[in-house]
């Protein structure tokens, strides 16, 4: 059975998933197992943003 869950709480979503996709600006940015997604440093960038985008 496939269920699509759209959740802003990434920890909650990954705890429920067998496989996950992370969208960034409407496109797939990450795909993999919850363990792979959680370990990917790009995840933090996608959800929080990058320091280089902040004004000085």
| Residues 41-56 pLDDT 10s | 999 888 887 655 555 5
Considering the domain boundaries, does residue 24 fall inside one?
A: yes
Considering the domain boundaries, does residue 47 fall inside one?
A: yes
Tokens for 53? 């985008």
Query: 29 or 2, which is more confident?
Result: 29
Closest CA to 30 of 14, 12, 51: 14
Considering the domain boundaries, does residue 5 fall inside one?
A: no
Q: Mean of the pLDDT values across residues 5-31?
A: 91
Cβ-contact 5, 17 below 8 angstroms? yes
Q: Cα separation of 50 and 4, whole Å?
A: 28
Structural domain harbouring 19:
10-51
Considering the domain boundaries, does residue 2 fall inside one?
A: no
Q: What is the pLDDT of residue 1?
A: 84
Asked whether residue 32 carries a pLDDT value surpassing 80, the answer given is yes
Considering the domain boundaries, does residue 18 fall inside one?
A: yes
The total domain count for the chain is 1
């Amino acid at each position: 059975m496939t269920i699509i869950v759209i959740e802003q709480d990434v920890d909650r979503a990954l705890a429920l998933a067998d496989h996950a996709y992370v969208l960034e600006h409407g496109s797939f940015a990450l795909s993999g197992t919850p363990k792979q997604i959680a370990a990917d440093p790009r995840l933090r960038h996608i959800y929080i943003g990058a320091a280089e985008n902040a004004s000085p």
